[in-house]
Amino acid sequence: MGTDKALLILPNGQFLIDHTAQVAQRLSSEVLVVTPWPERYQATLPTSIRLITEVHPPPDPAFCQRSSQKSSQKPSAGPLSGFIAGWQHLSTDWCLLLACDLPNLDGTVLQQWWAWIQAQSALGWPLLTSASSASLASGQPMASLVPMLKGRRSGWEPLCGYYHRSCLSSLTQQLSAHQCAFQPAFQPWLSTICIARYNHVPPQMLRNCNTPAEWAAVNQSDHSI
């Protein structure tokens, strides 16, 4: 993108990170923003949102050798690292993980999803699915996620979904096993845990913005925020 996606400005004049935080606050009073650069967002986010500084390992030396430019800015170790850092500050059993670059987030859809999770839990999770049959032994999912959008590679949409605290042990093991990697990936980890598949999220809600062209398309669309 060439700029901080969190500080992109939506057609209504709102920063993208503010929109994400606003949607999250409709669902929970306990909202965290995990980032290596909390000072960037202090002025825009309400004081009711806690900014958590991501503490991460140094970057992979091989990556540094390939880089033609040196930067004094702290790199992020990736969403997995930030995710586990956020869990340390949460008291709830379930966590809604949201990326900052989802301009079409809809709080109503997320509320309906949460109601579905609660209903499934009350019924004993009769519709569990998992890529790893061994992870079904507990009878409780570690996450509820949406399959990747049509046209993308197979897997799950990891950065808009609900995760249960029981995933922490598996997540910690994944990070430890890949501690030499600069940014350990979500998909290899997700392939090992029990996931409750949710099929009722509109595809446009999960479209993120990684390029100027994608951001221009967002601003030209008639999405409602």
Domain-located, residue 225: no
**137 phi and psi angles, rounded to 5 deg:** -60, -35
Domain contains 67: yes
Residue 149 lies in a domain: yes
In a domain? residue 175: yes
Enclosing domain of residue 34 = 5-179+186-220
Is 87 within a domain?
Answer: yes
Q: How many structural domains does the chain have?
A: 1
User: What string of pLDDT tens digits covers the 225 residues of the chain?
Assistant: 678 999 999 988 999 999 999 999 999 999 999 998 999 999 999 999 999 998 764 444 443 444 444 444 445 557 888 899 999 899 999 999 999 989 999 999 999 999 999 999 998 888 775 544 445 556 689 999 999 876 666 789 999 999 999 999 989 888 877 655 545 689 889 988 889 999 999 999 998 888 888 888 877 765 444
The secondary element (H helix, E strand) that includes residue 168 is: helix 168-177
The whole-model pTM stands at 0.84
- The CATH number assigned to the domain holding 74 equals 3.90.550.10
Residue 124 lies inside a defined structural domain of this protein: yes
